[in-house]
């Protein structure tokens, strides 16, 4: 049996690793933040890093005592703080930079969290302009219970039913043993109510809740919700009730001949009843939900100048103006102070320096990227959406002289306010195709607009199929696959040809 031998010997190996400095990582993170997230980031840094302070007074006094603007740059980003043994070279640089602020500082100034007081005042001012939050559905319904003739016990049971309504106003059960929605809701309430109640008691409470405003609350199914909204004054009441009970799917798919055959009603009556049905609210409680609409704060504003060009500016009014505290720089420079405290401040000064550099880099990159986009999409801004051109991020990256991933981060989740409206910056990027008739590049957004025009002009008695739309686009020089037409039609919430058909004009 042959043996083997293990031995150790030095050996050189070459390998490549991608190392990203923390400074670069922070710069990329800051670049990617939209303006309101940047505000939150800076506020968090102000609270966490003691060497950072907010400039609350934008003006200082010049030698003659007149108001004068502060230096253009609060911090020179020519270099970064280094962790050498003393750090004196870097601290000297910081000290020189802060001499411009000698008259601004008073001896009692201490950079602390109290520096955020004015920011808090600005928040309170902004909050005063925000509409008061609407009452909840539960509050609205519970107030109405007082107007019903209820015993104290039934009042409490009704309030309990109301507390189990979801945000759309439905009484939803969570029992895993599937029965019917009506049975589940009643059974679950009977079991969960703190005191013994009967099925009849719960059904009575539900019926009482269903008398309240808005009509349709307390329902357990969509059909029940819609049926609760049908009153003696509802036009075509009985036909609408039949549609709710038996033909919701037929209405959704515009199968009017099927409804006509089963109900005996005329197409005209069915169409009128369908209009009434579509006016009912399948989510009656939704209007009481706190407004979840996203309020967009643009990061960039593009404005037309008197000479017909476009001016670009960032929305900096929201962003706190911060700088490095002179007090802590001086403390860190003084060798007589505690070494541990000085070392702590060195790290904080470096972090603060990185943050200020990253903020300035974000400003520069976002401005240059937006300028390049505006130059590429000048026709869109001048003439409208039909004239948007295909644009790739690589094209903007080449102009700005940055990597394409930098462009991607710069436009990510950012919005721009233009004379044509407010758009996400990503809206201006996209592929396209060639117009076979003109040889010009056409953006996919333009094709969507053309699709809308074709459908708007079609004969509703014989709406165009997706294949026929492809042919219409081809006649305009736009070669588009059928699956692309289907995808765009669905993205634009355009129904299929069957659903678009007007049966009253079909004969």
Question: What secondary structure, in 3-state letters, does 254-278 show?
Answer: CCHHHHHHHHCCCHHHHHHHHHHHH
pLDDT at 378 over 70: yes
Tens of pLDDT along 428-479? 887 666 666 666 666 777 778 888 888 888 888 888 888 888 888 888 888 8
pLDDT band at 388 (very low <50, low <70, confident <90, very high): confident
Contacts of 302 (CB under 8 A, 6+ apart): 310, 311, 312, 370, 374, 381, 416, 417, 418, 419
- Residue 74, burial from CB neighbour count under 10 angstroms (0-12, 13-18, 19+): middle
Reference 161, options 204, 118, 195; nearest CA is 204
Q: Is residue 369 a contact partner of residue 411, using CB atoms and an 8 Å limit?
A: yes
Which residues, other chains included, contact 159 with Cβ-Cβ below 8 Å and sequence gap of 6+? 142, 145
- Tell me the per-residue pLDDT of 174-220, one tens digit each, with 9 for 90 and over: 544 444 455 566 788 888 888 888 889 999 999 999 999 999 999 98
The string of pLDDT tens digits covering residues 67-99 is: 433 333 333 333 333 333 333 444 444 444 344
Cis peptide before 214 (omega within 30 of 0): yes
What tens digit of pLDDT does each residue of 4-34 get?
Answer: 566 666 666 665 554 456 777 778 888 888 8
Assess contact for 162 and 142: CB atoms under 8 A.
yes
Q: State both tokens at 386.
A: 């039909």
Q: Name the average pLDDT for the chain.
A: 77
Q: How far is CA 479 from the centre of its chain?
A: 34
202 contacts 157 by C-beta, under 8 angstroms: yes
pLDDT of 105 higher than 60:
no
Q: How far, in whole angstroms, is CA 82 from its chain's centroid? A: 39
d(CA 300, CA 291): 25
pLDDT at 477: 80
Lowest model confidence (mean pLDDT) among 108-122, 132-146, 194-208, 290-304: 108-122
Partners of residue 443 on adjacent β-strands: 432
Say what the pLDDT of residue 9 is: 60
Torsion of CA 206, 210, 212, 215, to 10 degrees: 160
Flag whether pLDDT at 292 surpasses 90. Answer: no
- How far the first Cα of the chain sits from its last, in Å, is 97
Residue 50 pLDDT more than 80? yes
| CA gap 209, 219 in Å, rounded | 9
Angle subtended by helix axes 152-163 and 137-145, to nearest 10: 170
Looking at the chain, the whole-number percentage of residues with pLDDT higher than 70 is 73
Helices (H), 193-252: 199-209, 222-228, 237-246, 248-252
Residue carrying the six token digits 């840094």: 45
Spatial distance between the Cα atoms of 192 and 325, rounded to a whole number of angstroms: 60
Average pLDDT of span 321-326: 88
Instruction: Give me the pLDDT at residue 315, please.
Output: 87
> What pLDDT shows up at residue 158?
92
**Other beta carbons within 10 Å of 97:** 19
Cβ pair 202, 242 in contact under 8 A: no
- 369 contact partners, CB below 8 Å, separation of at least 6: 396, 400, 402, 407, 410, 411, 425
d(CA 503, CA 250): 13
Query: Residue 389: CB partners within 8 Å, gap ≥ 6?
Result: 376, 377, 379, 380, 432, 441, 443
- CB neighbour list of residue 256: distance below 8 Å, 6 or more residues apart: 250, 267, 270, 271, 274, 503
Structure tokens at 440: 């010009």
Strands (E), 281-326: 300-304, 310-314, 322-324
How does 393-417 read in b/e, with b if 16+ C-beta sit within 10 Å? bebbbebbebeeebbbbbbeebbbb
Q: What is the CA radius of gyration of the chain?
A: 34
- Percent of the chain surpassing pLDDT 90: 20
For the cut 60, the answer to whether the pLDDT of residue 103 exceeds it is: no
Greatest CA separation found in the chain? 102
Q: Which residue has the higher pLDDT, 444 or 301?
A: 301
Instruction: Tell me which of 141-145, 187-191, 211-215, 226-230 is least confident.
Output: 187-191
Instruction: Check: CB of residue 355 under 8 Å from CB of residue 44.
Output: no
* Residues comprising the chain, all counted: 507
- In the numeric block, the tokens 């809701």 are attached to 185
Looking only at the bridges linking them, the beta strands covering 310-314 and 300-304 are antiparallel
Q: Is the pLDDT of residue 121 over 70?
A: no
Within 8 A by CB and 6+ apart from 7, the residues are: none
């Amino acid at each position: 049996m042959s043996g083997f031998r293990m031995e150790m010997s030095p050996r050189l190996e070459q390998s490549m690793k991608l190392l990203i400095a923390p400074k670069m990582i922070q710069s990329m993170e800051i670049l990617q933040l939209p303006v309101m997230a940047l505000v939150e980031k800076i506020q968090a840094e102000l609270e966490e890093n003691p060497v950072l302070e907010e400039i609350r007074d934008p003006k200082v006094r010049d030698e003659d005592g007149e108001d004068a603007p502060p230096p253009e740059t609060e911090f020179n980003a020519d270099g970064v703080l280094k962790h050498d043994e003393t750090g004196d070279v870097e601290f000297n640089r910081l000290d020189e930079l802060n001499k411009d602020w000698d008259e601004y500082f008073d001896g009692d100034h201490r950079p602390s969290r109290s520096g955020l007081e004015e920011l808090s005042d600005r928040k309170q001012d902004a909050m005063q302009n925000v509409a008061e939050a609407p009452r909840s559905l539960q509050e609205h319904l519970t107030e109405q219970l007082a107007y019903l003739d209820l015993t104290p016990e039934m009042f409490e049971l009704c309030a309990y039913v109301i507390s189990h309504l979801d945000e759309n106003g439905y009484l939803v059960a969570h029992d895993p043993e599937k029965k019917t929605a009506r049975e589940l809701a009643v059974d679950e309430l009977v079991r969960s109510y703190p005191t013994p109640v009967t099925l009849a008691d719960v059904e009575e409470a539900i019926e009482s809740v269903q008398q309240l405003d808005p009509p349709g609350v307390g329902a357990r199914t969509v059909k029940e919700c819609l049926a609760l909204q049908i009153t003696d004054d509802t036009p075509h009441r009985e036909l609408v009730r039949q549609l709710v009970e038996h033909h919701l799917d037929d209405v959704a798919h515009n199968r009017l001949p099927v409804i006509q055959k089963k109900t005996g009603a005329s197409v005209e009556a069915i169409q009128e009843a369908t209009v009434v049905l579509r006016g009912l609210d399948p989510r009656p409680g939704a209007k009481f939900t706190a407004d979840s609409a996203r309020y967009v704060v643009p990061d960039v504003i593009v404005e037309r100048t008197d000479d017909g060009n476009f001016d670009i500016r960032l929305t900096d009014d929201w962003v706190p103006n911060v700088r490095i505290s002179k007090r802590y720089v001086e403390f860190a420079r003084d060798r007589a102070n505690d070494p541990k405290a000085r070392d702590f401040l060195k790290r904080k000064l470096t972090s603060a320096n990185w943050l200020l550099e990253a903020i300035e880099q974000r400003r520069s990159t976002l401005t240059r990227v937006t300028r390049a986009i505006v130059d590429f999409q000048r026709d869109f801004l001048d003439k409208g959406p039909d004239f948007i051109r295909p644009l790739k991020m690589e094209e903007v990256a080449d102009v700005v002289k940055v990597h394409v991933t930098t462009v991607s981060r710069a436009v990510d989740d950012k919005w721009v306010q233009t004379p044509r409206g407010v758009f996400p910056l990503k809206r201006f990027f996209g592929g396209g195709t060639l117009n076979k008739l003109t040889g010009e590049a056409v953006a996919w957004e333009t094709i969507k607009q053309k699709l809308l025009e074709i459908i708007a002009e079609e004969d509703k008695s014989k709406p165009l199929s997706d294949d026929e739309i492809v042919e219409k686009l081809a006649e305009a020089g736009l070669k588009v696959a059928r699956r692309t037409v289907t995808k765009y039609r669905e993205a634009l919430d355009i129904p299929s040809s069957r659903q678009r058909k007007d049966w009253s004009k079909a004969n």
